[in-house]
Structure 1
Amino acid sequence: MTSPLEGRVALVTGVGRRIAIGAAIARRLAADGAAVFVHSWVPHDAEQPWGADPGGPEGVVAEIRDAGGRAEHVSADLADPAAPARVVDAARRAFGHVDVLVANHARSGAQSLEQLTADELDRCHAVNTRGSLLLAQAFAAQHDGRPGGRVLFFTSGQYHGAMPDELPYIASKGALHQLTGSVAAHLMPRGITVNCVDPGPNDTGYADDATRAWVAAENPGRRWGTPSDTARLVGWLVSDEADWVTGQVIASDGGWSAR
């Protein structure tokens, strides 16, 4: 039986921690038959309270290869405006072409209105918004019209409820949410779909016990989302079954947004 992504190449950004969403997506797309090119920027993880994963992206690549898949890796700081084109070019040189772009990366900017700085606003915009758009631009430039062209952006839950302590982050993610329809309309004539995923609350090792218990109690499903939940949605959106779905913002949150 043919795997749904056999013969296709997926570029997945933000694959720095084996417990997190990017790694789950990379594993899922590889299991579905895609060759996977993963991007990471470990220094960002090292700056966060949860820290960098000692096994990191190399561990994800090793897992995929050990399971019989094809995977390569590049490290790049997407705050550099030249980095998105370099990442796409590296993926193309590794595998010949790129069919799928999953722009999963994110800079976390936790500042309230009183704490807000222009520097953090600029950094979140550069990585999250500008970086994703420039990745899409470079991806589209190398896409040769073959079936299966896919772009996925990632947003957050700012459109479902207030996130007053994460203003730089939600400003950049809200921009991606609103950009999705316009980029989708532009690329659909070329056979490329563009959608945006809101993964909802995912337990990737950053929450304390009180937060973990509160989210589980508030969610109609009585649990947190998992990276595998998000990866299943991504796997469908980049498959042929979703070739008529574009310009959408889709939440995978177990009803969190409807509570």
Structure 2
Amino acid sequence: MTQVQRKAALVTGASDSRDIGTAICRQLASQGFDVFFTHWKADQKWIGILQRELEGSGVRCEGVEMDLSEADAAVQLLNTAQSSIGIPVVLVNNAAHSVRDGYENLDATILDEHYQVNMRTTFLLSVEFARRLKEAGMQGGRIINLTSGQDLGPMPGELAYAATKGAITAFMKTLSAELAHEDITVNAVNPGPTDSTWMDEGIREHLLPKFPMGRIGQPTDAAKLIGFLASEEAGWITGQVIHSEGGFLRG
């Protein structure tokens, strides 16, 4: 990655100590990135603790509560991040909206709520991020999206979620071709079932036998892979969905 005075990363969706977004922030900070992250309805005391923790590793860190369903969220977010830590060279689209639906419940409201966060803001953040890098004459950017393995098998009861996450993959593949000549890579990571805020003991007991490695995926597993994709060493990888699931067995 082209060296700049300070490397800055923007991560969406770090709202809890156990979530993947928080693990990503920690990983990127350990690699020397200044970190700007979004959170939503998080404990403000904990947000302050996280910021101080990351600053303790010698980087700058700021977080902002932002509703990513708003139509102008992408521009607002990049403006705020840029004024705080400079132009990001890494964008991690981690935040997602997810509610259970199924064909009997799916309606326009559910579809729109998923679309606004999972597609519209993710897409607009990606292109605005790339435009700002180009305008600044900066190369070597990284766009990393989180997906959910929706192309590997059905996700009953999650029609809107699976569809909008699938759209991220389609968008990513074409955007990667458009940005390749700008030396900006665009990839996606499917971390598989991860023991974060959505799991309880019953879910863990159900899923554990499906992991041949004998454990359930942890947020740090996804964060380490994302840290690699954000690095100079990953500069030849673009347009890919990387399934990092620990051999998870479906069915």
Which residue of 119, 126, 130 maps to 1:129? 119
Instruction: Report the CA distance between 1:191 and its aligned residue.
Output: 1.1
Q: Which residue of 2 aligns with 1:39?
A: 38
Q: Which residue of 2 aligns with 1:47?
A: none
Length-normalised TM-score, structure 1: 0.90
Q: Which residue of 1 aligns with 2:147?
A: 155
Residue 98 (structure 1) aligned with residue 88 (structure 2): yes
Q: Which residue of 2 aligns with 1:76?
A: 66
AA paired with 2:138?
A: R
Change (3 A) 1:6 1:195: farther
Deviations 1:160-217 (A, max 9, x none): 1211111111111011012111010011111100001111111013223222012111
Q: Which residue of 2 aligns with 1:146?
A: 138
Aligned counterparts, 1:174-185, within 5 A: 174-185=166-177
Tell me, yes or no, if the aligned pair for 2:39 and 2:66 is still in contact at 8 Å: yes
Calculate percent identity across the aligned residue pairs: 40
Q: Which residue of 2 aligns with 1:194?
A: 186
Task: State the distance in 2 between where 1:96 and 1:214 align.
Answer: 44
Task: State the distance in 2 between where 1:247 and 1:102 align.
Answer: 15
**Residue 162 of structure 1 aligns to a residue in which SS?**
coil
Residue 113 (structure 1) aligned with residue 103 (structure 2): yes
Tell me, yes or no, if the aligned pair for 1:5 and 1:239 is still in contact at 8 Å: no
Q: Which residue of 1 aligns with 2:29?
A: 30
Change (3 A) 1:5 1:91: same
AA paired with 1:70?
A: R
AA paired with 2:77?
A: V
Task: State the distance in 2 between where 1:190 and 1:256 align.
Answer: 35
**Residue 256 of structure 1 aligns to a residue in which SS?**
coil
Q: Which residue of 2 aligns with 1:225?
A: 217
Change (3 A) 1:41 1:229: same
Q: Which residue of 1 aligns with 2:229?
A: 237
Query: For the aligned residues, what is the CA RMSD?
Result: 1.8
Residue 172 (structure 1) aligned with residue 184 (structure 2): no
Task: State the distance in 2 between where 1:211 and 1:8 align.
Answer: 38
Task: State the distance in 1 between where 2:28 and 2:4 align.
Answer: 7
Q: Which residue of 1 aligns with 2:57?
A: 67
AA paired with 1:178?
A: A
**Residue 39 of structure 1 aligns to a residue in which SS?**
strand
- Name stretches of at least 5 consecutive residues in structure 2 with no aligned partner: none
Q: Which residue of 2 aligns with 1:209?
A: 201
Tell me, yes or no, if the aligned pair for 1:193 and 1:246 is still in contact at 8 Å: yes
Change (3 A) 1:198 1:56: farther
Size of the aligned set, in residue pairs, is 247
Change (3 A) 1:239 1:258: farther
Task: State the distance in 1 between where 2:108 and 2:177 align.
Answer: 32
AA paired with 1:217?
A: P
AA paired with 2:40?
A: W
AA paired with 2:223?
A: A
Deviations 1:79-103 (A, max 9, x none): 1010111101111111221101001
Task: State the distance in 2 between where 1:209 and 1:18 align.
Answer: 18
Task: State the distance in 2 between where 1:111 and 1:7 align.
Answer: 44
Which residue of 68, 75, 83 maps to 1:85? 75
